[in-house]
Amino acid sequence: MTSGLRLLLAAFAVALASPALVAAQNSKPLEIYFIDVEGGQATLFVTPAGQSLLIDTGWPMERDAQRISETIKLAKIHQLDFVLITHYHRDHVGAVPLLVKTVPVGTFIDHGPLRQPGKPMDEDYAAYQRALTTGKYNHIVAKPGDKLPIKGIDATVVSSDGELIDRAFPGAGEPNHYCHPSAQLPADQTENARSVGTVLVFGRLRILDLGDLTSDKEMQLMCPDDKLGKIDLYVVSHHGSEQSGSPVLVAAIAPRVAIMDNAAGKGGSPSAWQILKAAPGLEGLWQLHYSEEGGRDHNSAEEFLANVGQDDPGNYIKVTAYQDGSMKVFNSRTRAEKNYAPR
Ligand SMILES: [Zn+2]
């Protein structure tokens, strides 16, 4: 091949790269950190407008408050504009009292009063209330249909305190083929069913986080009509527990990328993993940990796992998301990044 021809071919290849894609990837991304709180949730969103949203705080342990603080430094922010507490189980609300000692918080968002009295919820809820009543923070009690006032993303509450949105998102609302008219599930009586769930829209990219919302609520939300529509990035409900993540939700939203905040011995159930793996159009299933229960047959390949061994390094997963719907997923253990093109 002549060098002239080679040059011509190279120019042709450059011309083939989508100008829209290049433009979108040049615009500022939304960054999402899946912090390892060992089977709890702590997910940090940083918008291009520089605003931050932390969904849940992990367990009542210095370890988790510290992992969140380290992530805040990594993300080059100095405060949490919003902290959303999905529900009052200790793997979600636990580290609030420790976190507020070192990190300034603007607004707390939650579902309102504790609905599952008993140990250790009473204690954790009281500690959270003590932080709230210092008067240092704004407080929003989320209601389904509310828009959260976060700059740079469009965040809509879809579930809170056991209530759900009563109408579909624009473009959604089709009959959900995964529903069975006769199917019934007993109502979950715990805080899980009270979880604040949100759909976060960034350009063409749609993200779903339902906390630990249980399958009885999934059925109400998704049957007979699918009120959510397709999702690009799914924060796997309930750490991949079998009480959540039923096909009526997971198959219908057809996530392109799913990230599970499980621990080695919590969440990551084989049945929830299998439902995710079978979801139509799934391109990547990432896990914060290798699941011992999942064993050889129900874990993603090692490159998709942030933590694999018995040691406890707290590796994280970071998603860099663009307005055109493309995403990059970074595994802090392998230092490797994987690209996902828009749908
Ligand atoms: Zn949980």
How do residues 48-90 score in pLDDT, each as one tens digit? Answer: 999 999 999 999 999 999 999 999 999 999 999 999 999 999 9
Could you tell me the distance, in angstroms and rounded to a whole number, from the CA of residue 289 to the centre of ligand 1? 15
3-state helix, strand, coil in the chain (%, to 5): 25, 25, 50
Q: Cα-atom radius of gyration of the chain, to the nearest Å? A: 20
Report CA-CA distances (Å) from 87 to 109, 141, 213: 10, 12, 9
User: Would you say 96 and 51 are in contact if contact means Cβ atoms under 8 Å apart?
Assistant: no
Tokens linked to 222:
């998704």
Long-range CB contact pairs, 113-121, < 8 A, 24+: 114/88, 114/191, 115/161, 115/162, 115/191, 115/194, 116/88, 116/189, 116/190, 116/191, 116/194, 120/90, 121/88, 121/89, 121/90, 121/191
Question: Cα of 191 to ligand 1 centre, how many Å?
Answer: 10
> 54 C-alpha to center of ligand 1: Å?
15
Ligand 1 centroid to Cα of residue 238, in Å, is 5
Q: For residue 147, give the H/E element and its range.
A: strand 147-148
User: What pLDDT score does 14 carry?
Assistant: 45
The pLDDT assigned to 4 comes to: 53
pTM score:
0.92
Distance from CA of residue 277 to its chain's centroid? Answer: 17
The per-residue pLDDT for range 284-343, each reduced to its tens digit, is 999 999 999 999 999 999 999 999 987 789 999 999 999 999 999 999 999 999 999 998
Q: How far is the CA of 212 from the centre of ligand 1 (A)?
A: 6
CA of 9 to the centre of ligand 1 (A): 53
Q: What pLDDT was estimated at residue 181?
A: 81
CA angle 26, 27, 33 (to 5 degrees): 100
Outline where DSSP puts E strands in 203-331. 205-209, 233-235, 257-260, 284-287, 317-321, 327-331
Q: Quick one: what percent of the chain has pLDDT higher than 90?
A: 90
Count of Cβ atoms closer than 10 Å to residue 118 Cβ: 9
Upstream peptide bond of 120 is cis (omega within 30 degrees of 0): yes
Contact of 207 with 199, CB cutoff 8 Å: yes
> Residues whose CB is under 5 A from ligand 1 (ion)?
91, 212
Phi, psi (degrees; rounded to nearest 5) at 245:
75, 40
**Given this model, what pLDDT does residue 343 score?**
84
**pLDDT confidence bin for 27, thresholds 50/70/90:** confident
Give residue 291 CA to ligand 1 midpoint distance, Å.
15
